[in-house]
Chains A and B, each alone.
Chain A
Amino acid sequence: MSRAIVDGQNLPTAINNASGGGFSGVFGAFGGDGSLGAVVISGNTETFGTKNYTTLTVNNGIVLTATARRLLVIKATTSITLVGTGSIHADGRGLEGLSGGADGGDQDLVGNPALPETAVGVACSAGGGGGGGGSSASGPTSLSKAGGVGGAGADRSDIFLAGGGGAGGPGAPSNGSMSANGITGSIGVAANLAPDRIRFTDTGDLLLWPNAVGGAPGGGGGGGGAGDGAGSGTVFGGVGGLGTLQTGTGTGTGIAGGDGDDQDGGPTEGGGGGGGGAGGAGGGIILIECDGDLTIGTGRISADGGTGGVGGDWGGGSSSQPDAGAGGGGGGGGGGGIVRVFYTGTPTNVDPAHVHANGGIGGAGGVGVLDNGFTSGDGGVGNTGEDGFTVTSQVVL
C-alpha cells in the first residue's frame, strides 16, 4: 500500500485555498490549455514534461510511460480514459542501479591471476550486484573466494528520493573445506525524506520540489561464494547484474547476475559462485490533472519500484566435487515513486488497486547445488523496496 502524502490535512481544501485563489494561482489553469488536442494512443508511448490534452485515451494493452529520471505531468481539459489494460506508468523510472561487480575469476587460460587469491569478488556501485566468487584452482594454494558485496541502492544527499530501495539478498556460502561465503548486498537509501518537501503548502507544489527523481533503486544482491577447486582448471565467478536506465515499456527490473563458470569443464573443479542481481530501479513521478471524468479500466496509473534482478546460479563444476559454487543473491526491489492524481469529474477505479507507487519486490536468489552431502546454498531473496507516495483527490473548482 502506498503511503498517504498529506497527513492530517483536508487535501481538497488545502489545494483549493492555495495562494493566488486556488489552482490558477499555483498551477495555472487546472487541466491545462488542451493545446495538444484530443489524443488517442494505440502504440506504446514514452514522454516527459507537461502535456496539455483535451482528451487522452490510452487503448487496451498500451502503456504511456514517463522517461526515466524525468517528471511527467499530464493535463486534460475534458477527460482521461484508460481502456481495458491501458495504463500510464513511471514504474522503474526513478534512479537506476549502476555498475555490477566484476566476476570473481582467479586465473585465465594464460595463467595470469585475475585477482589476488584472498580477494573477494569485486563489489560494485549503487544498485549493481556483487561479483560471484572464483576459485584459485590452479594457483599454488587452493583457496576459494567469497562473493562480492552488492552495491547500496542510493546514497545521495543532493536529490529528493521517495521510497527507499530494498536491500539486496545475501550471496550464499559455499560449503566445503576451502570454500568461501557470499556477502550480502546493501540496502537502498531513502535520502532527503524531509516532510516539508512532501506537503502542499501555500507556496509549494510537487513541481517545485528540488531535484525530485522518484524512488531509490534497490541494493544489489551479494555474489555467491565459490567452490573449492582442487584441480588444475579455472573457475570464474559470475558477473554482478548491471542496473540500467529504463526505457520503452519496461518497469525497471534489475539485470540478473551472471552464472558462475567452470571454464574448463575439467574433472576436479568446483563451480564459481553466481553474481548478485542488480537492484530494481526506483519508481518515477507522474502528476495528473483532469478537468473532467477520469476512467481507469483494469490498468493502472503507477510509479512502482522495479523488481530486483535474479541472482546468478552456481557455475556447474564437477559433480564429484564437494565444494560446488553457491548462488548469488537477488537484487532488492526499487523504492516506489510519486503519483498525484487530481480530477473534477467522475472517477472510475481511481483507488489504491489502480493508482499506486509500491515498492518493487526483491529478486529471487540464484541456485546453488547439493553435492556429495555438501550444500552450497541458493542465494537469498532481495528485500522489497519501500513504498512511495500517492495522492488522489476530487477537486472542486
Chain B
Amino acid sequence: MTDDYEFTIDCAYCEDPLMVVTGANAQAWKRDAAAGGHAVSCPDCGCKYAIIDDGVSVEMGGGIIASNISAPRLDSLDIASGSATGGYVIVIRGSALDVGTLVVKFGGKDVLNITNRTKTAARVTLPQGQYKLDVAEVTTPGFIVGEGIYGTDSGARGVVKSIKPFVVNAPTLPFDPNEEVVGVASGSRLVLSGSPYSGAVDVTVENEHGQRVVGGAVLNGFTYV
C-alpha cells in the first residue's frame, strides 16, 4: 500500500481549485468514494462535484474522479418579453447548463425545444404563454380547470389552468380592465379588477440534480404580451 497518490479538483466553470490532496492512498480514496465520499461545491459559482471511483484498478493507475453533479443556474435571458403565442427562440444564460438532462420552464410549462447547449448558454423555444388574472369578484362560482373562457368585452379566449390563483393558458388576446369573464362549460362568471392581468412568469431551469434555490429561477423574468 503506497501513499503517493495525489489529485486536484477544480471547478469546471471558475477553474478555481476546490480540493488538493497529496500523500494519499488511492485505494483508501476508492473505499471512501464507495462509502459516500465527499461532495464539494464551488464557493464562487455554486457548482457541485461528487468524488467517485474512476472504475480503473489502482494497479492500472486508477483512483478517483470528480463527477459534475451541479444543478443548473440561470442568470439571464437575451429577450425579456414576447408574444403569448409562443413558438419563438430565445437564449438563456447561466452555468452548468450542459449537465444532465436540462429542463427549462416558463411559467411552469416546459419549453418546446432546447438546442445549442454549452456550459453557460442554451437556445430554447418558448411554449404558449399564460396570464394570471386578478379577480375583483366571483359573481357565479363554479369555474372548472381545463374549461375554455372568454372575456365579454375584449373577446379574448383562453383555458383555465388553475383557480387559485386564477391562471389562464394560451390566451388569444389581453383581457380588458373590469370586464366580465365567462366559463364556457360551467357558465360561471367573474369580474376582473382594474389591473386585470400580469403576463410575467418565472423562468426555471433544473436537471436530475435539482434546481438551485439561489440562481435557479429568474422570478418574473419573462413577460408574455
Task: Produce 1/0 per residue, A242-275, CB < 8 A to B.
Answer: 0000001100000000000001111000000000
B41 with A45: CB separation less than 8 A: yes
Q: How far is the CA of A234 from the CA of B18 in the complex (A)?
A: 52
A42 with B16: CB separation less than 8 A: yes
B43 within 8 A of A: yes
Give the segment of A93-101, A103-111, A179-187 that binds chain B: A103-111
Which of A43, A105, A111, A232: most chain B CB closer than 10 A? A43
B58 within 8 A of A: no
B43 with A61: CB separation less than 8 A: yes
- Option from B22, B42, B135, B193 in Cβ contact (under 8 Å) with A37: B22
A109 with B138: CB separation less than 8 A: yes
Given contacts A36-B21, A109-B135, A111-B141, A43 and B36 within 8 Å (CB-CB): no
| Chain A nearest CB, measured from B39 CB (Å) | 5
Q: How far is the CA of A353 from the CA of B60 in the complex (A)?
A: 48
A110 with B135: CB separation less than 8 A: no
B19 with A40: CB separation less than 8 A: yes
Q: How far is the CA of A249 from the CA of B49 in the complex (A)?
A: 14
A42 with B41: CB separation less than 8 A: no
B28 with A41: CB separation less than 8 A: no
Which of B21, B25, B35, B38: most chain A CB closer than 10 A? B38
**Which chain A residues lie closer than 8 Å to B6 at the CB level?**
37
Task: Produce 1/0 per residue, B129-172, CB < 8 A to A.
Answer: 00000111110011110000000000000000001111000000
Task: Produce 1/0 per residue, A59-80, CB < 8 A to B.
Answer: 0011000010000000000000
B108 within 8 A of A: no
- Option from B28, B42, B193 in Cβ contact (under 8 Å) with A35: B28
B135 with A264: CB separation less than 8 A: yes
Task: Produce 1/0 per residue, B1-43, CB < 8 A to A.
Answer: 0010110010100001111111111001100100111111111
Within 8 A of B (CB), among A32-67: 34-49, 51-52, 54, 61-62, 67
| Chain B nearest CB, measured from A232 CB (Å) | 6
**Which chain A residues lie closer than 8 Å to B16 at the CB level?**
42-43
Q: How far is the CA of A41 from the CA of B51 in the complex (A)?
A: 13
Which of B19, B144, B165, B190: most chain A CB closer than 10 A? B19
Q: How far is the CA of A40 from the CA of B24 in the complex (A)?
A: 12
Given contacts A39-B20, A109-B141, A51 and B32 within 8 Å (CB-CB): yes
| Chain A nearest CB, measured from B10 CB (Å) | 9
**Which chain A residues lie closer than 8 Å to B39 at the CB level?**
45-47
A37 with B141: CB separation less than 8 A: no
Given contacts A40-B19, A43-B43, A35 and B24 within 8 Å (CB-CB): yes
A131 within 8 A of B: no
A43 with B11: CB separation less than 8 A: yes
A42 with B38: CB separation less than 8 A: no
Counting chain A residues whose Cβ lies within 8 A of the other chain, the interface size class is: 35 or more
B76 within 8 A of A: no
Q: How far is the CA of A205 from the CA of B163 in the complex (A)?
A: 57
Counting chain B residues whose Cβ lies within 8 A of the other chain, the interface size class is: 35 or more
A36 with B193: CB separation less than 8 A: no
A236 within 8 A of B: yes
**Which chain B residues lie closer than 8 Å to A62 at the CB level?**
43
A266 with B136: CB separation less than 8 A: yes
Task: Produce 1/0 per residue, A101-125, CB < 8 A to B.
Answer: 0000100111100000000000000
B22 with A38: CB separation less than 8 A: yes
B38 with A110: CB separation less than 8 A: no
A109 with B166: CB separation less than 8 A: yes
- Option from B9, B21, B36, B136 in Cβ contact (under 8 Å) with A48: B36
- Option from A40, A110, A232, A263 in Cβ contact (under 8 Å) with B20: A40
Q: How far is the CA of A35 from the CA of B2 in the complex (A)?
A: 9
Q: How far is the CA of A249 from the CA of B163 in the complex (A)?
A: 38
- Option from B21, B40, B166 in Cβ contact (under 8 Å) with A44: B40
Closest to B145 in A: A110
**Which chain A residues lie closer than 8 Å to B24 at the CB level?**
35-39
| Chain A nearest CB, measured from B28 CB (Å) | 3
Which of A41, A45, A61, A109: most chain B CB closer than 10 A? A109
Closest to A103 in B: B164
Closest to A232 in B: B137
B120 within 8 A of A: no
Which of A46, A105, A110: most chain B CB closer than 10 A? A110
A45 with B40: CB separation less than 8 A: yes
Which of B19, B24, B163: most chain A CB closer than 10 A? B24
A233 within 8 A of B: yes
A43 with B143: CB separation less than 8 A: no
Q: How far is the CA of A48 from the CA of B49 in the complex (A)?
A: 15
B137 with A37: CB separation less than 8 A: no
Given contacts A38-B24, A52-B28, 8 further A-B contacts (CB under 8 A): A42-B20, A43-B9, A45-B19, A49-B36, A263-B135, A263-B164, A265-B135, A265-B193
- B residues in contact (CB < 8 Å) with A: 3, 5-6, 9, 11, 16-25, 28-29, 32, 35-43, 49, 134-138, 141-144, 163-166, 188, 190, 193
7 A-B pairs with least C-beta separation: A37-B24, A43-B18, A111-B141, A35-B28, A37-B23, A43-B40, A35-B25
